[in-house]
Amino acid sequence: MELLPVGVRGPRRPLTPHGEDAQPPACPAARGTCSRTVPADSRAPAVSGILIRVSGTNQHYLPASLIGGFGQPAASGKLREARIAVRRKATGAVDAGFPKAETLAWRPGMYRLTAPPPGVDPDTVDKLWDPVENSLRDLVARLAARRLQPGDDALLFDYAATAGVRHPSFEDVAADYQARQGRPAPQGDGVQYARVLALGNQRPVMPSWR
């Protein structure tokens, strides 16, 4: 999927968990939650009068507020409601109409834990992105104006780290890493634990990649 006129592509291939202890928990077969099948990418229209929340059924792998910066501004001024022109990379076809940014780049329950431990919010992984997303709109504006302020570097590093582990490609990358270690691919909630582990591994090394 590309956004026109300037294409927004998925993040680069994310770092995999590294180190001998970087093995996510296996998904118990008895729970019956080990399917690696992921629903197709989003293009369903938004429900009238209801905003799609990031920690709802439709969980975004690219922030709607970031996608909206490439679109036609909405009367409300909200970037997630901006209208976007979309071209499919696989076919080159341009989608009919101009969907809202909030209806793009999500998959149902993508980060939701299916069998969380007692007392753990099923959406705890999805909420890891909140600190970055809550600051993203103002951060992008300062970056475009070349007026970064103290602390913005850390926000940019955090965004880059989260972008890798939250992308749909992460599951395949994690499976590839596990295979090279002679281990089974993470499945079910094990994929979510792998996201958290990889995020913790990436954040400390981000400043050295400048």
User: How far apart, in whole angstroms, are the C-alpha atoms of residue 187 and residue 193?
Assistant: 10
Distance between the two ends of the chain, CA-based, in angstroms?
Answer: 28
User: What range defines the domain where residue 82 resides?
Assistant: 1-13+42-109
Query: What's the one-letter identity of residue 132?
Result: V
Which of 167, 209, 205, 196 minimizes the C-alpha distance to 12? Answer: 167
Whether 1 and 105 share a structural domain: yes
Q: Which H helix or E strand runs over 15?
A: none
**In a 3-state reduction of DSSP, which class is residue 85?**
strand
**Same domain for 168 and 68:** no
Secondary element (H or E) of residue 60: strand 58-60
Q: pLDDT of 106-137, one tens digit each?
A: 999 999 999 999 999 999 999 999 988 888 88
Structure tokens at 182: 């002679």
Across all residues in the chain, what is the average pLDDT?
77
Final residue belonging to a domain, choices 109, 127, 145: 109
Last residue of a domain, one of 109, 144, 166: 109
> Among residues 59, 81, 109, which one ends one of the domains?
109
Number of domains in the chain: 2
Cα separation, 77 vs 40, whole angstroms: 30
Residue 207 to residues 20, 52, 104, 157, Cα–Cα distance (Å) = 23, 33, 30, 7
Side-chain-facing half-sphere of 62: CA atoms under 13 Å = 24
Whether residue 170 is contained in a domain is answered as yes
185 and 141 belong to one structural domain: yes
On whether residue 136 sits in a domain, the answer given is yes
Whether 103 and 139 map to the same domain: the answer is no
How many CB atoms sit inside 10 A of residue 68's CB? 24
Q: What is the token pair recorded at 137?
A: 């709109």
The alpha carbon torsion through 62, 63, 64, 70 (nearest 10 deg) reads: -80
State if pTM tops 0.75. Answer: no
pLDDT band at 171 (very low <50, low <70, confident <90, very high): very high
pLDDT value, residue 134: 87
Instruction: Identify the pLDDT of residue 45.
Output: 36
pLDDT digits 0-9 by tens, 41-92: 444 333 333 333 334 678 999 999 899 988 999 999 898 999 999 998 899 9
| Longest CA span, the chain | 54
* Shared-domain flag, residues 134 and 103: no
**Tokens in use for 27?**
């998904």
